[in-house]
Amino acid sequence: GILPLDSEESGVCEVILIHEHCLVRKPEKVCWIEAAGSVRDGVRAYTALHYLSQVSPGKTVLVMDGASPFGTIAIQLAQHRGAKVISTAYSLEDKQYLERLRAPVARVIDVSNGKIDVAESCLEETGGLGVDIVLDAGVRLYSPEDESTSKSALLPHKHDIITLLGVGGHWITTEKDLQLDPPDSHSLFLKGATVSFLNDETWNLSNIQQGKYLYILWRLRILEDVMEKLSSSVFRPQLDEPIPLYEAKVSMEMVQKKQARKRQVIQF
């Protein structure tokens, strides 16, 4: 299950009391560690690809930072739906990881040296048509000299996203402070494209959506060729080794500082 925003529990206590709407039954074929480590990213990926963009066979999906836990599941879920996937990598290790996936992505764009143009690469891969769906991992809103961190410099500029987006495309963003100027909106208008915000807690904000939320959780765990085949590596989450409860504080600090690249699971 997933703790809602208004939960009074921390998630690391011995007894947690939460509403049944936040819980679903775990299939026997899925181990506890994989279920715990993939449920949130699975819900996010399913929300982005099914409800916000309606991925289908033949579409092209660009997943930013595909070697992240969320990116890994999003890539595999898009491939399961028959989409062609392009992904960016922020390091040589990330690129090698993506190239080793059982179902390899169509193209891995290594942006670690800052010399590769993401928009140009995507347009080249799609014959100039642009991609149908973009799942970003954050975007640059300003010029490189205005950015304060090196990680921000690796992110694509918002204009790059709009440029590589195809006609009728869907841009799913995790950038909560996204700012679109009138020229940006005009470009999206001419393409008939849409921008949607991926909020992890969307399904917990309205009681009327609880049924749909449970449906997502349930489908993610028993969806044919996805969760049922975790053991055969068809659908594998990006997990670190489980950690004991007494190391939870240190692990949480790493997650908050964005120093953890794999999903952390606490084992009681």
Q: How many domains does the chain have?
A: 1
| 84 occurs within a structural domain | yes
Asked whether residue 208 is assigned to any structural domain, the reply reads no
Proportion of the chain above pLDDT 70, given as a percent: 74
Could you give the CA distance from residue 217 to residue 39 in angstroms, rounded to a whole number?
A: 7
Range of the domain at 182: 53-197
Which one, of 72, 45, 40, lies nearest residue 235 by Cα? Answer: 72
What pTM value is reported for the model? 0.82
Distance CA(137)–CA(175), nearest Å, equals 8
User: Is residue 228's pLDDT more than 60?
Assistant: no
Distance CA 56, CA 245 (A): 41
Per-residue pLDDT, averaged over 73-98, amounts to 91
With 50 as the cut, is the pLDDT of residue 221 above it? no
Q: How far apart are alpha carbons 253 and 47 in whole angstroms?
A: 27
Please return the burial class of 266, using the count of CB atoms within 10 Å of its CB with bins 0-12, 13-18 and 19+: middle
Rounded Cα gap, residues 252 and 268, in angstroms: 16
- DSSP of 129-198, one letter per residue? S-EEEEE-S--B-S-GGG--SHHHHHSPBHHHHHHHEEEEEEEEE--TT----HHHHHHHHHHT-EEEE-
Determine, yes or no, domain membership for 266. no
Mean pLDDT of 89-101: 89
* CA dist list (Å): 243 to 213, 250, 263: 29, 10, 11
Contact 265, 239 (CB under 8 A): yes
Which H or E run includes 120?
A: helix 118-125
Question: Which tokens go with 211?
Answer: 């049924």
Write the CATH number for 153: 3.40.50.720
For residue 227, is it within any domain? no
pLDDT in tens, 39-81: 788 888 888 998 889 899 999 999 999 989 899 989 988 998 8
Tell me, yes or no, whether 4 lies in a domain: no
In a domain, 36, yes or no: no
Residue 211 lies in a domain: no
Flag whether 91 is in a domain. yes
Structure token digits, residue 107: 């193209």
